Amino acid sequence: MAEQKRVGVYICHCGGNISDYVDVVALRDELAKDPDVLVSKHLQFACSDASQKEMEKDIRDQHLDAMIVCSCSPKLHTHTFRNVAARSGLNPYKYVQVNIREQCSWAHSDHSAEATLKASGLVRAGKERVLNAEALIPIRVESRQAVAVIGAGVSGMRAATALADMGEEVFLIESAEKAGGQVGSRAKLFPDNSSGAALVERMQGEIRKRPGIKLFTKATIQNVSGSLGNFTVKVSVGGGETLSLNAGAILIATGYDDYKPLTDEFGYGSGPNVMTLPEFNALLESGSGDIRVGGRAVKRIAYIYCVGMRQVKGPNAYCSRACCTAAISSALAAHERAGGLDIFHLYRDIRTYGKQESFYERSSKAGDSYLMYSEKSPPKVEQKGASLGITVKDSLTAKTDIELEVDLLVLVTGMVPRSDSGNIASLFKIPRGSDKFFNEIHPKLRPVETVINGIYLGGSCQGPKTISESVQSSLAAASKIFGVIGKGTIELEPIVARVHEADCSYCGKCAKVCEYSAITEAEHGDRRVAIVNSSACVGCGICAPVCPSDAIDLARYTNAEIESMIDAFAAASGIVPSASGEGDASGKESIQMKEFPARWNTMLAAIGDEAMSIPAIAGATGFDAQDVTFEVMTMVKYRVLVPKGIDDDDEYYSYQRKW
């Protein structure tokens, strides 16, 4: 028998998220019996500061050589606990997180006993895994002090200037003939009524001012290779020469497309008097005085909102966020340009969120009529001679059918992912969401990062945004990028593929499947073997199963680890969980205050040894039911009282003394 293993196991209640369903005490006890486990504890919140301190103390005092935390998804807290390990001198990779929340308590909340059994299997598997885990050392990579920004719309341009100001070299890559993107054609931007053209011009000026920014227009990206710290982006500029740009990180700011209505969607295409909002904006910008369509001055305009958006059945289930305000501000601009207009807005919900509400208010005060339709009965549009007839069931007038005649219909179309977003996604290997916009890792934890290390998102390629929001997100990305590559060296996860040269005879299968071009052929003594570029390897593991001689494996996912996990999971559980998963498992004794507030004494006297509901206590003491609720809950909090259960009529809990 090898030397004594010293594993520490921490089971988290997640404040009830886990402990309400999984019997954490039973789990703790089962692990405590395991000869490899030295410390087995359950904690209210494993991630809390105090718990972390406790773990650090255990690691140091008990000389733990491995640690498991059984809590939530490793996506959330792997770093947290690896840091705990690192701070107390344990190799961070001798730590394994077991997900008993998403995989047990949340997934099986109706089957508490089974959830506990499953958790027990997972924890045992985790323990085996950590015993087989190697101590790894992070990979350190030198980073290029340069960033490739893909797309020179406002997001891309703004991020480029910020990065240049922080001291990075920037390659700003734009497929169109000049930088500017879509904003140039917008008038009256929220919130300050400035014009899009002016904004674009200003940004272009800022870019010219900074020699660190190299702008490539009419550029197409041929190929992207490399990894964080050292990407190579091959770009053909103007269809001619191909440049190879070397960058430490990449910011994708490729923007969006306007939704194009289908033929005859709300009469689109049936005449010049039906147009989309961007088309109408262009028309507004193109002249002054009366707005003319087909030679006729327009007096009455209708807007239909949510065209192509918020579809329950159609492809675009999402809301395009910016279009309500865009439509309303175009209406205000139309009023400004041509007096005496009657404007009708046919909407589903007006989403002028935040301060944008003032646009809505201004437009209604200007006399615009708002009518509301539901997706189930959309407005009908038909050409009527020179004008258009629209009928709509107005939800604001008890669903009365209303008929209106207008000279012009504007379809308020939203933002859709760029038509080439599929290409961009596969070039950079970044995922898209169900809405086909590029996906961040987590909207709150890591909102501008993609699953590919070193590739970031900015602006509306990620989802519909207003201009200010786009700029904000690309600036946020710029600060994240600079935070990662600004120091010149980067620490990377050592979870990469490794070749056991002895077993390898280079068949090339691994190199062929590697999507990151991380595997190449090399000499090894007299043989040819595969070698892995660890900074390019993302640890996807696709190479391991294709190797005919098991000569390649992935750190943290070695055969030994995986097989031991399967065996351990399959083994019988030693616990007989209680069916209820009773919540009070914290083991904390009731708090013995030496003195209770007077009101508590009266209430406790009334309760006696029975269990009583709040209204009953109120009746017995003459106190207000509200005060009784407050005090009872406080007593429950301080474990003077415990809830006994809910009354027969399923309306009131009853409470009894703790002792």
Quote the least distance from Cβ 471 to other proteins, whole Å.
6
Give least dist CB 537 to other proteins, A: 24
**Least distance from C-beta 366 to other proteins, angstroms?**
8
Site string for other proteins, 242-271 (x = CB under 8 A): ------------------------------
Q: Which amino acid is at 482?
A: F
Which candidate, 482, 486, 440, places its Cα nearest to that of 459? 440
What residues contact 535, with CB distance under 8 A and at least 6 apart?
Answer: 139, 141, 227, 228, 229, 230, 492
Residue 185's nearest CA partner among 304, 279, 288 is 279
The one segment of 174-182, 316-324, 523-531, 568-576 that binds other proteins by CB under 8 A: 316-324
The alpha-carbon radius of gyration of the chain (Å, integer) is 32
Task: Please identify, among the stretches 47-55, 120-128, 130-138, 209-217, the one whose residues bind other proteins according to the rule CB under 8 A.
Answer: 47-55
What CA–CA distance (Å, rounded) separates 395 from 549?
Answer: 69
CB 134 within 8 A of CB 176: no
Exactly one of 516, 557, 569, 653 binds other proteins (CB under 8 A); that residue is: 653
- Does 142 help bind other proteins (rule: CB under 8 A)? no
Q: What is the footprint of other proteins within residues 201-220 (CB under 8 A)?
A: 202-203
Helices 614-621 and 625-637: angle between axes, nearest 10 degrees: 120
- Closest distance of CB 97 from other proteins, Å: 12
When asked if residue 391 is in the footprint of other proteins (CB under 8 A), the reply is yes
Q: Is residue 620 part of the contact set for other proteins (CB under 8 A)?
A: no
Phi then psi for 11, rounded to 5 degrees? -110, 125
Minimum distance between the CB of residue 317 and other proteins, rounded to whole angstroms?
5
Q: How far is CA 477 from each of CA 159, 302, 446, rounded to the nearest angstrom? A: 8, 39, 10
d(CA 430, CA 435): 14
* C-alpha span between 540 and 37 (Å, rounded): 31
| Helix or strand holding residue 80 (H, E) | helix 74-87
Site string for other proteins, 458-497 (x = CB under 8 A): ----xx---xxx-xxx-xxxxxx-xxx-xx----------
Figure out which of the listed residues 61, 264, 382, 401 binds other proteins, where binding follows CB under 8 A: 401
Shortest distance, position 432 Cβ to other proteins, whole Å: 12
Alpha helices of 216-365 — where are they, by DSSP H? 277-285, 323-337, 357-365
Q: Does 646 contact other proteins by CB under 8 A? A: yes
Among 79, 140, 209, 384, binds other proteins (CB under 8 A): 79
The token pair that represents 643 in the structure block? 């809830």
CA distances from 79 to 97, 273, 493 (A): 10, 58, 11
- Among 124, 129, 144, 158, interactor with other proteins by CB under 8 A: 158
164-167: long-range contacts, CB 8 A cutoff, minimum separation 24: 164/210, 164/212, 164/213, 165/210, 166/478, 166/482, 166/486, 167/212, 167/486
* Interacting residue with other proteins among 142, 353, 423, 608 (CB under 8 A): 353
Residue 365: Cβ-neighbour burial (10 angstroms; 0-12, 13-18, 19+)? exposed
Identity of the residue, 1 or 398, whose beta carbon is nearer to other proteins in the bound complex: 398
How far apart (Å, rounded) are the C-alpha atoms in residues 439 and 78? Answer: 21
Q: Binding other proteins by CB under 8 A: which of 242, 426, 580, 626?
A: 626
Q: Which one-letter DSSP state was computed for residue 238?
A: T
E strand or H helix at 618: helix 614-621
By C-beta, is 512 or 637 nearer to other proteins? 637
Among 70-78, 207-215, 520-528, 529-537, the segment contacting other proteins (CB under 8 A): 70-78
Token pair for 37: 């486990």
Q: Identify the CA nearest to 279 among candidates 189, 386, 186.
A: 186
The answer to whether 400 contacts other proteins (rule: CB under 8 A) is: yes
Taking the complex as a whole, how short is the minimal distance between the CB of residue 171 and other proteins, in angstroms? 19
Contact between 358 and other proteins per CB under 8 A: yes
* Minimum CB distance to other proteins smaller for 336 or for 405: 405
* Closer of 518 and 628 to other proteins (Cβ): 628
Q: Minimum distance between the CB of residue 145 and other proteins, rounded to whole angstroms?
A: 13
Nearer to other proteins, 166 or 620 (CB): 166
Per-residue contact string for residues 420-459; x = within reach of other proteins by CB under 8 A: -------------xxx-x----xxxx-xx-----------
The yes or no reply on residue 118 touching other proteins (CB under 8 A) is no
Give me the DSSP letters along 491-524. EE----EEE-GGG----SHHHHH-TT--EEEEEE
> Alpha-carbon distance 479 to 146, whole Å?
14
> 344: helix, coil or strand?
strand
The answer to whether 312 contacts other proteins (rule: CB under 8 A) is yes
Question: Binding of other proteins at residue 185 (CB under 8 A)?
Answer: no
* Closer to other proteins by Cβ: residue 523 or 627: 627
* Distance, CA of 38 to CA of 3 (rounded, Å): 13
Site for other proteins in 534-573 (CB under 8 A): none
Q: Which of 132, 185, 533, 634 binds other proteins (CB under 8 A)?
A: 634
- Under rule CB under 8 A, residue 397 binds other proteins: yes
Residue 310 is a binding residue for other proteins (CB under 8 A)? yes
Enumerate residues 572-591 that contact other proteins by CB under 8 A: 591
Q: Among 356, 413, 534, 535, which residue sits at the site for other proteins (rule: CB under 8 A)?
A: 356
Q: Which is nearer to other proteins, 529 or 618 (CB)?
A: 618
CB atoms under 10 Å from CB of 212, counted, come to 17
- How far apart, in whole angstroms, are the C-alpha atoms of residue 111 and residue 80? 30
Alpha helices by DSSP H, 181-258: 196-209
Q: How far is the CB of 360 from other proteins (least distance, A)?
A: 7
- Is residue 373 part of the contact set for other proteins (CB under 8 A)? no
- Candidate list 91, 185, 204, 364; residue touching other proteins; CB under 8 A: 364
Nearer to other proteins, 212 or 541 (CB): 212
CB-wise, 353 or 426, nearer to other proteins? Answer: 353
CB of residue 445 to other proteins, shortest distance in Å: 6
- Is 75 or 292 the residue whose CB approaches other proteins more closely? 75
